[in-house]
Structure 1
Amino acid sequence: MSWGYYETLEINRNATDADIKKAYRRLALKFHPSKNREAGSTERFFALGEAYDVLSDLRKKATYDKFGEEGLKSGVPAEFGSGGAWSSKYVYHGNPDKTFRLFFGGDNPFADFYTQASQLQLSRLQPEVVKTQDAPIERDLNLSLEDLFHGCTKKIKISRRVMDEDGHTSSIKDKILTIEVKPGWTEGTRIIFSKEGDQGPNCIPADIVLIVRQKSHPLFMRQHNDLIYKTSISLEMALTGFSVDVQTLDGRLLSVPVNDVVHPTYEKMLTGEGMPLSQDPSQRGNLIIAFDVQFPVKLSSKSKHLIKQALGLQDN
Structure 2
Amino acid sequence: MGGDYYEILELNRNATDADIKKAYRRLALKFHPASNREPGSNERFRQLGEAYDVLSDLRKKATYDKFGDSGLKGGIPLELAIGGAWSSKYAYHDNPEKTFKDFFGSSNPFSDFYITDLPLQFGGLNPEENKIKDDPIERDLYLSLDDIYHGCIKKSKISRKVMNDDGCTSSIRDKILTVTVKPGWKDGTRITFPKEGDQGPNNIAADMVFIVREKPHPLFERQDNDLIYHKEISLEMALTGFAVDVETLDGRIIKIPVNEIVHPSYKKVVPGEGMPLPHNPSQKGDLIFTFDILFPEKLSAESKSLIKQALRD
Structure 1 residue 306 corresponds to structure 2 residue 306: yes
What aligned pairs does 1:4-19 form with structure 2 within 5 A after superposition? none
Could you tell me how far apart the structure 1 residues matched to 2:269 and 2:198 are? Answer: 50
Structure 1 residue 116 corresponds to structure 2 residue 48: no
What aligned pairs does 1:207-246 form with structure 2 within 5 A after superposition? 207-246=207-246
Could you tell me how far apart the structure 2 residues matched to 1:263 and 1:212 are? Answer: 36
8 Å Cα contact 2:241/2:259 also seen in 1:
yes
Could you tell me how far apart the structure 1 residues matched to 2:231 and 2:200 are? Answer: 56
* Deviation string, structure 1 residues 270-291 (Cα, Å, up to 9, x no partner): 0111000011001110000111
8 Å Cα contact 2:183/2:277 also seen in 1:
yes
Could you tell me how far apart the structure 2 residues matched to 1:194 and 1:244 are? Answer: 48
| Paired amino acid for 2:307 | I
Q: Which residue of 1 aligns with 2:177?
A: 177
What aligned pairs does 1:39-188 form with structure 2 within 5 A after superposition? 108=2, 116=44, 118=46, 122=97, 127=110, 129-130=112-113, 131-188=131-188
Could you tell me how far apart the structure 1 residues matched to 2:45 and 2:204 are? Answer: 30
8 Å Cα contact 2:112/2:132 also seen in 1:
no
CA gap 1:127/1:200 in 2 versus in 1, 3 angstroms? closer
* Per-residue deviation, 1:129: 3.7
Q: Relative contact order (C-alpha < 8 Å, sep 6+): which is higher?
A: 2
| Paired amino acid for 1:144 | S
CA gap 1:306/1:198 in 2 versus in 1, 3 angstroms? same
Q: Which residue of 1 aligns with 2:247?
A: 247
Taking structure 1 as the reference length, the TM-score comes to 0.61
Give 3-state SS (helix, strand or coil) of 2:183's partner.
coil
Q: Which moved more, 1:112-121 or 1:257-266?
A: 112-121
* Per-residue deviation, 1:302: 1.1
CA gap 1:261/1:204 in 2 versus in 1, 3 angstroms? same
| Paired amino acid for 1:142 | Y
Q: Which residue of 2 aligns with 1:7?
A: none
| Paired amino acid for 2:178 | T
Could you tell me how far apart the structure 2 residues matched to 1:217 and 1:110 are? Answer: 71
Q: Which consecutive unaligned segments of at least 5 residues does structure 2 have? A: 9-39, 49-95, 101-107, 114-130
Q: Which residue of 1 aligns with 2:281?
A: 281
CA gap 1:228/1:108 in 2 versus in 1, 3 angstroms? closer
Taking structure 2 as the reference length, the TM-score comes to 0.62
Note the aligned Cα RMSD (angstroms): 2.4
Give 3-state SS (helix, strand or coil) of 2:146's partner.
helix
* Per-residue deviation, 1:119: 5.0
| Paired amino acid for 2:150 | H
Q: Which residue of 2 aligns with 1:202?
A: 202
| Paired amino acid for 1:146 | D
Could you tell me how far apart the structure 1 residues matched to 2:184 and 2:261 are? Answer: 34
| Paired amino acid for 1:187 | D
Give 3-state SS (helix, strand or coil) of 2:149's partner.
helix
* Per-residue deviation, 1:108: 4.3
CA gap 1:241/1:168 in 2 versus in 1, 3 angstroms? same
Deviating beyond 2 angstroms after TM superposition, the runs of 4 or more aligned structure 1 residues are 107-115, 117-123, 125-129
* Per-residue deviation, 1:201: 1.1
| Paired amino acid for 2:136 | P
Q: Which residue of 2 aligns with 1:268?
A: 268
Number of aligned residue pairs: give it.
Answer: 207
Identity across the alignment (%): 61
CA gap 1:110/1:230 in 2 versus in 1, 3 angstroms? closer
* Deviation string, structure 1 residues 69-124 (Cα, Å, up to 9, x no partner): xxxxxxxxxxxxxxxxxxxxxxxxxxxxxxxxxxxxxx94699689525258858x
Give 3-state SS (helix, strand or coil) of 1:254's partner.
strand
* Deviation string, structure 1 residues 200-246 (Cα, Å, up to 9, x no partner): 11111100110000000000000000000011110000000111111
CA gap 1:109/1:222 in 2 versus in 1, 3 angstroms? closer
* Per-residue deviation, 1:163: 1.3
| Paired amino acid for 1:171 | S
Q: Which consecutive unaligned segments of at least 5 residues does structure 1 have? A: 1-106
Could you tell me how far apart the structure 1 residues matched to 2:45 and 2:155 are? Answer: 52
* Per-residue deviation, 1:249: 0.2
Could you tell me how far apart the structure 1 residues matched to 2:280 and 2:258 are? Answer: 31
